[in-house]
Structure 1
Amino acid sequence: MTSGEHPARLSIGVIGAGRVGAVLGAALARAGHRIQAAYAVSDESRERAAALLPGVPVKDVPDVIDGADLVLLAVPDDALPDLVRGLAATRTWQAGQIVVHTSGRYGADVLRPALAAHILPLAIHPAMTFTGTAIDLGRLEECAFGVTGPDALRPMAEALVVEMGGEPVWVAEGDRAAYHAALAHGSNHLVTLVAEAMDVLSAAGVEQPRRVLGPLVHAALDNALRMGDAALTGPVARGDVSTVATHLRELDRVSPEIRSTYVALARATAVRALESGRLAPTTAEPLLDALADPGRPDRGRPDPQEPRS
């Protein structure tokens, strides 16, 4: 098969039947491709493979690769370089194979050790969080996939993504780390933020914090995606130093760890509000001053009698 042809009816080997690998394998099977074998180590991975890839034999890595038109590498980021190098050293790769990894961190260069075997290298990363169940197959619809690889393979990569129901987004090799950092910051840290907010609501005696927080978070996320910095609201964006100082004192009592998160995000919010013109410099100064010393929960507006440098 040449690089310009539509990747139809491929024989695929899946290395890593984790949450991502098993789901993408199932999506490719749904598109008409044949999953010839999968590699799964843990009992959980084997159960996931049985559920999402029924009838697909579980084999050792060399046997999964042998005879496959496309090899899907769905392994942890830190394990990917050594795996690629090890398989190159043992001459396991086969000429003409499409080798696709799903890491967000790496582009196609991580597959460079396999190029001597004349493989076709691609990085295709789904920008989604996975449960490792059939629910994820529906979530792939309209999911963005960060794609990196040689220009000649771009049509092939985009066709594979479209077949899985996603939307291909081309990411340059040198921008791959920034791309992945943005996704991790926006999704993983959002989970931490929401979980911490629910903890504080529980500490405030709210019996069902998710019901109180849910509508607000959904609205805030929708506004942020549509409006960016224009969606900023609340005491920090208004420069309400007294309210922010009250929050700091209360969070210091409830959880100093969550207070630290609040301080970091409040400072970042204040800076963005200042730079976007939503917060006047004269208002931002006392606010940032109040947030400058996480060790003083009682700090609010600066004492007007205190000398300023």
Structure 2
Amino acid sequence: MNSTKPGRLGIGVIGAGKVGAVLGAALRAAGHAVVGVSAVSEDSRERAELLLPGVPVLEIPDIAERAELVLLAVPDDALPELVAGLAETGAWQPGQLIAHTSGRHGVDVLAPARAKGAIGLAIHPAMTFTGMSLDLTRLTDCAFGVTAPATMLPIAQALVVEMGGEPIVIEEQDRPLYHAALAHASNHLVTIAAQSAQLLRSAGVERPDRLLSALMRASLENALAAGEAALTGPVARGDVGTVLAHRQALLDYELEHTGTDIRQTYEELARATAKRALARGRLKEGQAAQILDILNPQTPPKEEK
């Protein structure tokens, strides 16, 4: 195992997916030496060639043997088996650093490697990745959920800072909740945008992104800056007639487009919005009751009064 200069690490990247290749490139830019990368699919090989030019594509055991820091960038469900399997073959080395990028897991998942004397770190970037070089600029000021034993936490934090990110300490037991929050904010935002675009296309809008772009960006910025004080729209205003018209339009749409999930999504989120607006005094009890009645899946369609 070799380092290029004092304080620098020989890093091996297991998983040249969108996350692994980008983080490997970021650590390389910080002065570390990437000694090997695993890449099985054609896409991952192309990604490794683009973001980690000159780095040899190696088998996973060879990477574990050569690297001082092994970066595990594999799917959450694959991580336990990978760590345990390498432990069984004696691949992990005493004093070796192992950092994974899973949001769901902390360092307990690395227990088989830690039992062999390795040091476990969890560094999860709170960002969506394209697997392209533009991700490297997005890492600047990106928050990372970091979990590590107290004595090793500074190492994990330093790695994140070197990549341009901001380390946020997450306790081991809080990792699933932390990850659920990020998935709810990021993944479901994509679903909502896709559903809204689908409705707009059905309404004859050729470029839904032109209508949604400024609206969604402003809503997100306002929500992050002001929290639920930024809430607006017919539910928060108690516009019962508008909510009724929305539901009827979505019911009609559902009859024409079988298998759609948009009405159910709208109703669930509108119910949650109404309850939160009521709890915070933004909505009167009578208005909330009417809206929740309209949004009840068992409530038949009504004519707007």
Any stretches of 5+ residues in structure 1 without a counterpart?
1-6, 302-309
Establish whether residue 264 from structure 1 lines up as the match of residue 268 from structure 2.
Answer: yes
Q: 1:298 to 1:52 in 2, by over 3 A?
A: same
Number of equivalenced pairs: 295
TM-score under structure 2 length normalisation: 0.94
Counterpart amino acid of residue 126 in structure 1: P
Match of 2:47 in 1: 48
Q: How does 1:2-81 map to 2 (within 5 A)?
A: 8-81=7-80
Q: CA deviation at 1:114?
A: 1.1
Q: 1:57 to 1:294 in 2, by over 3 A?
A: farther
What is the CA–CA distance in structure 2 between the aligned matches of 1:129 and 1:13, rounded to whole Å?
22
Residue number among 265, 284, 288 corresponding to 1:284 in the alignment: 288
SS at match of 2:266: helix
Match of 2:162 in 1: 163
Q: How does 1:1-309 map to 2 (within 5 A)?
A: 8-255=7-254, 256-293=260-297, 296-298=300-302
Q: 1:14 to 1:267 in 2, by over 3 A?
A: same
What is the CA–CA distance in structure 1 between the aligned matches of 2:61 and 2:301, rounded to whole Å?
59
Counterpart amino acid of residue 275 in structure 2: V
Q: 1:85 to 1:295 in 2, by over 3 A?
A: farther
What is the CA–CA distance in structure 2 between the aligned matches of 1:206 and 1:88, rounded to whole Å?
56
What is the CA–CA distance in structure 2 between the aligned matches of 1:253 and 1:20, rounded to whole Å?
42
Q: Is the 8 A contact 1:108 1:122 kept in 2?
A: yes
Q: Is the 8 A contact 1:290 1:299 kept in 2?
A: no
Counterpart amino acid of residue 132 in structure 1: G
What is the CA–CA distance in structure 2 between the aligned matches of 1:16 and 1:259, rounded to whole Å?
38
What is the CA–CA distance in structure 2 between the aligned matches of 1:207 and 1:169, rounded to whole Å?
42
Counterpart amino acid of residue 143 in structure 2: A
Q: Is the 8 A contact 1:148 1:170 kept in 2?
A: yes
Q: 1:116 to 1:217 in 2, by over 3 A?
A: same
Q: CA deviation at 1:208?
A: 1.4
Q: CA deviation at 1:201?
A: 0.9
Counterpart amino acid of residue 271 in structure 2: R
Any stretches of 5+ residues in structure 2 without a counterpart?
1-5, 255-259
Q: Is the 8 A contact 1:290 1:300 kept in 2?
A: no
Deviations 1:108-165 (A, max 9, x none): 1100111121111000000000000001000000000000010101111111000000
Q: Which moved more, 1:281-290 or 1:140-149?
A: 281-290
Counterpart amino acid of residue 19 in structure 2: V
Q: CA deviation at 1:103?
A: 0.1
Counterpart amino acid of residue 270 in structure 1: A
TM-score under structure 1 length normalisation: 0.93
Deviations 1:149-206 (A, max 9, x none): 1010111111100000000000000000000000000000000001111111111111
Q: Is the 8 A contact 1:248 1:298 kept in 2?
A: no
Match of 1:306 in 2: none
What is the CA–CA distance in structure 1 between the aligned matches of 2:78 and 2:303, rounded to whole Å?
46
Q: CA deviation at 1:300?
A: 6.4
Q: Percent identity?
A: 60
What is the CA–CA distance in structure 1 between the aligned matches of 2:121 and 2:83, rounded to whole Å?
13
What is the CA–CA distance in structure 2 between the aligned matches of 1:35 and 1:299, rounded to whole Å?
66
Deviations 1:206-241 (A, max 9, x none): 121111111111110000001111111110111111
Q: CA deviation at 1:299?
A: 6.9
